Structure 1
Amino acid sequence: MTDMRQAISEDQWRRAELIWDYHQMGHETAPVDVAIGLGSHDLGVAATAAGLYRTGLFPVLVFTGGNSATTRSRFPRGEAVHFREHALELGVPDDAILVEPEAANTGQNITFSRELLAAHGLTPKTVLLVSKPYMERRSFATARKLWPEVEILCASEPLELDDYLKSIGDEKLVLDMLVGDLQRVIEYPKLGFAIGQDVPEDVRDAYESLVRDGFTSRLIAP
């Protein structure tokens, strides 16, 4: 076990890896009309989106996101603004980037980005969502609910859980986020926020076990 994982048992780590793998859609990247980089605490989203832009997969890149309690100190001018600045540093031209600086949740990321694109005369038929690795499935389910006429692909930084943990530096927080996102995948369809996703029994068991073990700081109220 690495130093970063001293507070996590091997059994807890195995469960976390099940959930980590489930969250990723496994889509193969392909040319699309537009990409949307979903704001978060993770600047790797902007770097991944910039790298995909440079391969020629899409002509327009939207960064969306305002601030949250977890990002305000890191990105004081807003997630999308900082993501744009990072993408510019990585070689994406300014005229290829649109910024949506108000969204406060994933539903707003999708809705506000769609409205921004429409305001620029763009009605894409194919969209690539670029997110944190463990947010792919939730963003996919949300977009399919709110933008059903568009073909959605997902991408994220190609990291294993151990590498992602090293990049964040807080194993408890990472597992809390994995658990919290899975709860949203399960519960949001009941609230009309997303389409349903099949959750394998072993993944659900891993989720329930980690909740019992106290990885609960990112859970929403029932």
Structure 2
Amino acid sequence: MTDKIAISDRAIVIPVFPLPNVVFFPKMQLPLHIFEQRYRQMVRDALEKERLIGMALLRGDWEKDYYQNPDIYAVGCLGSIAGVTPLPDGRFNILLHGVREYEIQEHILEQTPYRRARVVLREEMAALEPSYFESLKTEVAELARETVGERAPELIKALDDASLDGETWLNLFCASLDVSTLERQSLLEAKSLPERAARLLQVLRFQAAENRTLADRFRRGPDSKLPH
């Protein structure tokens, strides 16, 4: 399976793997270690069928209901199992390749030990206009160097990677930047690439402004106060 997966109907039933701190994006890769019995069964079932798993973010006070069916965000990302390593004790190491955003229409909590859902796949997003993509890269590069600096050299290196198309480049930064899980979920939920880019810029601009304020306070000494 690839990101050009042939799906005749955009409404499909998929297994759902909810996690507390993971937001998955199309065209990205996600390594996962599968150890819970219910999710081992999920992987075995997926390998016998279309090799598809939907990643979803847990929401709210999920800890108390983790072993049942806690709340999850409705928008997630469908992944295709691109690699799998079965381990002797029944666990798996798998690699997911992000395919498409989806939105849950109905939860299916019977028949399998893991959660499934009827979802509608988002339509494939239109590519970024070349001129907009170039201006986006310029601003993101400036802001990322200011906010990330030397803490993420591989991410900074990717700023100038001409081999990446607009969606891959944008999703790479959305998936990799040091932002909160909820901010990352908001980036995933954007309904177009320009909207996702605008949300990313908003986050980066806020981080940059916050860094400048803290740096200015440091220069002025410990008795200075942050502006209200």
TM-score (norm 1): 0.23
Larger helix proportion of the pair: 1
Which structure has more RCO (C-alpha within 8 Å, separation ≥ 6)? 1
Query: As a proportion of its length, which structure holds more strand?
Result: 2
Q: Return the TM-score normalized by structure 2.
A: 0.23
